[in-house]
Structure 1
Amino acid sequence: MNLKRTFGAVLTVLGIVGLIYTGVQIIQHTGAPTTLIVVGLISVIFFFTGISLVRNTKDEA
């Protein structure tokens, strides 16, 4: 079990969930704009960091 790949997958899923949450809040016009900006930014960082970890980690047995 590769810990980096697992952590990358978790970060990617958290990023996707955060982006969906931000999108829903924007569409419903609920939530403070600064909160949505911060959550969206953190979600984007999590998403791209997770994708990078999964892509750059080599499987070594």
Structure 2
Amino acid sequence: MKKTFGAILTILGIIGIIWGAYAFMMGGDGGVLGKWSALVPFGVGLIFFSSGIGLVKTIKDQT
């Protein structure tokens, strides 16, 4: 169960990182902050990715 949750967090993190990088390259959302607002999904994706990897690494297989 925990490994599945870790894998889901990792996948969501990868999507968030890609989305944030793409938004940054395209100039952000066009609002007041521009490119800086694109860093929010990147940061959230980075947090999800690192926590998902950490969760997968710390859970031991029960065989």
Structure 1 stretch displaced more, 13-22 or 27-36 = 27-36
Structure 1 residue 39: Cα displacement: 1.5
The 5-angstrom pairing of residues 24-35 of structure 1 reads: 24-31=22-29, 32-35=34-37
Deviations 1:25-54 (A, max 9, x none): 111113144532221111111000000011
Q: RMSD in angstroms over aligned alpha carbons?
A: 1.4
TM-score by structure 2 length? 0.82
Q: Work out the CA distance in 1 between the residues paired with 2:19 and 2:40.
A: 12
1:37 match: 39
Q: Could you tell me which runs of 5 or more consecutive residues in structure 2 were left unpaired when the two chains were aligned.
A: none
Q: Could you tell me which runs of 5 or more consecutive residues in structure 1 were left unpaired when the two chains were aligned.
A: none
- Is residue 58 of structure 1 aligned with residue 60 of structure 2? yes
- Is residue 14 of structure 1 aligned with residue 12 of structure 2? yes
Aligned-pair identity (%): 37
Higher helix share: 1
